[in-house]
Structure 1
Amino acid sequence: MRRIAIGGLAAAILLGTAGCTGPAPAAPAAPIPTGPAVQAQLAELPSPAPDSPVLAVSTVLEQDDGALLCLGAVAESAPPQCEGLELLGWDWAAFEHTETGGVRWAQGVAIEGTYEPEARTFTQTGEPMSAAAITMPAIEVPQGSLDAAAIEAAQRDVEAVDRADVLGSYGERGTLVVEVIYDDGTVQAAIDAIYGPGVAFVISALRGSAAPPTVTEPPLDTAAPVITGDTEARLGELPTPSATEPVLAVGTVLDNGTPMLCYNVATSLPPQCGGPEVVGWDWSAVEYEEANGVRWTDAVAMMVTYDAAAHAVTPVEMLDLAALTMPARESVSGNLDAATHQAVQDEIWSLQRPDVLGSGGDGIVEIEVVYDDGSIQAGFDEIYGPGVVHVWSWLG
């Protein structure tokens, strides 16, 4: 199992375990254990199976003759790319979806079903509904005391373990966050036994029935959008700014014929992703991994220029990612109801712009783009009014 976590709204799709809230973890009394012995213990983590239906909120992707429930990172491309569980009982006619190149997919789907860890299947037991029509209890990662070096060492151990049910790991608030397909508390207990309490926090992609969602009223299909009329035409005229002066880029470079700078990377070996082409990339100048003819780096930092028309970045200077202090993303909120929020997202995604990387938000539609110099934000404000859409620029 290997997951390269860059950050962003795509990670917000993961849901907490049926009892993952609790007191802030205590500070570790000593340096946390790492290395082969820890990796061997992580490889023996339990793989619990729920004894009742659980809830998944994710993307559904057509694969071969069936459907895939995406879990973990989803590469924002058209169609998306992801890894996950075989989804049984899915009916494409029952949910609004998008199709490109003969491949269908649906984003923001909430489905109740049964999970079989050994078979790696999720069998739908209830009717699918829009994720925008439900409210899930928030997940709060408890405050820890690990420094960046300790978190990176622990991440290397987690990423070295070849387990399909472990989706990835990252650091947040001084805590090692481990993402798994499902935990009933036994995975958290096992990890606490390895590292000691207060080091790691387990997040489960499947939510148990102990924390049911609240259905938002009115139903999605009865709500009116923010505006009507020429919205589609006006959205099509949104600017696509280029960065002619160097801007900061943090991501993974992957080469499957053409080097690409990736924002989100799908869990697989080799990984999969979509992103702008990297012009003039020199593999001999960086450390990388290779499998099946595909090369990729861990997260790298560099100054680049961005050509929006060519959807390509050109590196200007490589930077030391570990030496960078990344500013915290400010919290934004708004007053949109769930139906309006979903309607605006659907309109934006219908544009199929390659520079739109992801979307989400709470009461406000947060859109992540490759680059914005302020003109995309101004365009959305003109179309929908201030406070409806908030644009985050990846580069810059």
Structure 2
Amino acid sequence: MTTTILLIEDDLLVRKNLQDILELESFQILEASNGKEGLLIAQTHLPDLILCDVMMPEMDGYEVLQNLRQNPSTKNIPLIFLTAKSELESLRAGMDLGADDYLIKPYSIKALLLSIRLRLDKKASLQEEAQQELSDFRYRLTRSLPKRLNNLISPLHSVANTLKQLSDNLTVQEIEEIAEKIENNSVEIHRLFINLSLYSQLEMIASNPKMREAYQSKRSQCFPSAVITKVAQLKAQQYQRLRDLKLTLQDTKIALSETNFKKIIEELSDNAFRYSLPGSTVEVVSQIDESRYRLFIIDAGQGMESELYENWMGNPKSSLSDPKGNLEGFGLVIAKYLVELNGGQLHIESIPQKQTIVHLTFSLIS
């Protein structure tokens, strides 16, 4: 597969010379004469690497880099600055913004090609690590799924046998309790399969820049308070804990579809009730802070053990199954995917045996 390099350089002669050199090395070249044009090409074509001049009209190299790093589709594209000696002092700002390297004009062809190869090799190595991580996760998921399903299905067999043997002697109340167990477990099984399907879709979108860009271009909007109220109350009823639910909400409009936001709240509120004791409060608080919508889901439950919490902070997918093969944190990973694919952020603060706070932020729509 041909490697694509984007040249952003306002000097036509320099740009054409670079293009000739790189095409001789079998690179496919995209070119832009200023930062604004270059940013648009980068967002549209998603090149493998960018060579960018620093001082340019309309938008300089630093602004280009800043915009690239703020966009999930372009934030991981390697960028090498091409700079004059007189710009070295200000170059530190560019490196702090996340530039991968810089070359001082005039540079040799050897130095240019070496820098390009190093950045491309590093990118390939990171992609290999990500692919291995994905394979490891799929293995853990495959190992954990049968046990989770068995835990849900086994009680149904037990209930069926009880009905067969004792149907004539059961009271109406006992029959209602059995029916409730069957219903709850069937709902959980259905939810598990829905989550498996959704996770596969989200994983594919997140790992493919073009699919991610298409997904994000269709982003919708919703009024969060109504969704939170409905979903959180349904979850509280499911766990017979309506009295434990406390809602303190400010309404606004956020950049996220109602379907996706509903799924996020469903998974996070389910965790809050599942991992806290009846009688303890589950609190949902929203705040409007300048251009951001903030949401806190707080429970006084078991929290995350320090090792699990550290795993989650470093790599959420690594926390999905414990050594015994239990599937844990699946809904949390799905919620995180949905939040981040829609331009939001999800953070967790956890104190073992005391409290968990899930903090979400989304952009407001004016």
TM above 0.5, yes or no, is no
TM-score, normalising length: structure 2 = 0.19
TM-score, normalising length: structure 1 = 0.18
Which structure shows the bigger proportion of residues in strand conformation? 1
